[in-house]
């Protein structure tokens, strides 16, 4: 049966591929967007995940159109890279507010409906950087490893109600987020990836679709790396 799926930041990049994969499988997919027009083929809900009222309004709209969210993919994320001593409080706060607190906000709101339904799938999009660390990404890495503790706590709290909470940790994927990195940094990453190439957004989407599927029903609190092997052993 078609499920009500929400992908935050589903208007472009990895989120767009995730939304497309669920829609292709026949699910009812809502995506958040912040400006402009949402992409065709989805229910677009205007929502900045740093704003609790916008999150509440987005869920109200989705519930009215698609029913309670059964699959949540907390994907919206930003970077504000700079070295530690140059990192301002604002650089720190913006990244934590969006990547970690934003994910908390949407998961908390989604869990309300999932608890009533006694089923649900929560998927957080972390990063290999959350486990490996990365120079210039103190804020980003903290936000991404924070998602793991958060997911595992939710897995323990919500598991008895048939709700799973998992993390997908991509490596380097070609999107707007990585396009801005200097060529030298990209080359350096590439040299460390056992599979010898960057990831495709569709490859992240495949893992997310699977972890949210019926087949993955006995997996919770897991971190699934989709990183060409760069994070092996972490």
Ligand X SMILES: NC(=O)c1ccc[n+]([C@@H]2O[C@H](COP(=O)([O-])OP(=O)(O)OC[C@H]3O[C@@H](n4cnc5c(N)ncnc54)[C@H](OP(=O)(O)O)[C@@H]3O)[C@@H](O)[C@H]2O)c1
Catalytic sites, residue numbers: 140
From CA 216, how far away is CA 96, in angstroms rounded? 29
Query: Any bridge partners for residue 33, and if so which?
Result: 46
Question: In the complex with ligand X, which residue's Cβ is closer, 120 or 225?
Answer: 225
**Could you tell me the smallest distance in angstroms from the CB atom of residue 139 to ligand X?**
11
**Could you tell me the smallest distance in angstroms from the CB atom of residue 234 to ligand X?**
14
- Answer for which of 9, 113, 225, 228 binds ligand X (CB under 6 A) is 9
Among all chains, which residue has been given the structure tokens 């210039």? 136
- Answer for which of 13, 38, 44, 228 binds ligand X (CB under 6 A) is 13
Task: Give me the sheet containing 4-7, strands edge to edge.
Answer: 43-46, 28-33, 4-7, 71-74, 120-125, 163-170, 223-226
Q: State yes or no: residue 98 binds ligand X (CB under 6 A).
A: yes
Residues touching ligand X: how many (CB under 6 A)? 30
- Answer for which of 4, 127, 137, 166 binds ligand X (CB under 6 A) is 127
Alpha helices (H) along the chain: 13-24, 52-66, 89-95, 102-117, 129-132, 138-158, 176-179, 183-191, 201-211
From CA 129, how far away is CA 132, in angstroms rounded? 5
Question: In the complex with ligand X, which residue's Cβ is closer, 80 or 152?
Answer: 80
Q: What is the CA radius of gyration of the chain?
A: 17
Q: State yes or no: residue 145 binds ligand X (CB under 6 A).
A: no
Q: State yes or no: residue 15 binds ligand X (CB under 6 A).
A: yes
Which residues are part of a known binding site? 9-12, 75, 140-144
Interface stretch with ligand X, choices 59-67, 69-77, 107-115, 213-221 (CB under 6 A): 69-77
Which residues are part of a known binding site for NADP(+)? 9-12, 75, 140-144
**Could you tell me the smallest distance in angstroms from the CB atom of residue 50 to ligand X?**
5
Closest CA to 44 of 23, 61, 24, 63: 61
Q: What angle do CA 205, 209, 212 make, to 5 degrees?
A: 140
Q: State yes or no: residue 103 binds ligand X (CB under 6 A).
A: no
Q: State yes or no: residue 49 binds ligand X (CB under 6 A).
A: yes
Sign of CA dihedral 72, 173, 144, 58: negative
Residues that bind ligand X (CB under 6 A): 8-9, 11-15, 32-35, 47-50, 75-78, 98, 102, 125, 127, 170, 172-173, 175-178
């Amino acid at each position: 049966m078609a499920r009500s799926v929400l992908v935050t930041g589903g208007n472009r990049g990895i989120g767009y591929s995730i939304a497309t994969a669920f829609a292709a499988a026949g699910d009812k997919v809502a995506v958040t967007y912040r400006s402009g027009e949402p992409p065709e083929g989805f229910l677009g809900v205007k929502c900045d995940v740093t704003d609790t009222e916008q999150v509440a309004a987005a869920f109200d709209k989705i519930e009215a159109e698609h029913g309670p969210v059964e699959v949540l993919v907390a994907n919206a994320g930003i970077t504000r890279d700079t070295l530690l001593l140059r990192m301002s409080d604002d650089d720190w706060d913006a990244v934590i507010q969006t990547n970690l607190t934003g994910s908390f906000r949407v998961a908390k709101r989604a869990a309300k409906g999932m608890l009533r339904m006694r089923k649900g799938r929560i998927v957080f999009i972390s990063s290999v950087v959350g486990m490996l660390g990365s120079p210039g990404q103190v804020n980003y890495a903290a936000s991404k490893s924070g998602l793991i503790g958060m997911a595992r706590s939710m897995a323990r709290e919500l598991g008895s109600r048939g709700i799973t909470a998992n993390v997908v940790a991509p490596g380097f994927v070609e999107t707007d987020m990585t396009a801005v990195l200097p060529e030298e940094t990209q080359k350096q990453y590439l040299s460390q990836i056992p599979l010898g190439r960057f990831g495709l957004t569709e490859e992240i989407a495949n893992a997310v679709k699977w972890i949210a599927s019926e087949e993955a029903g006995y997996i919770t609190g897991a971190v699934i790396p989709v990183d060409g092997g760069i994070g092996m052993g972490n």
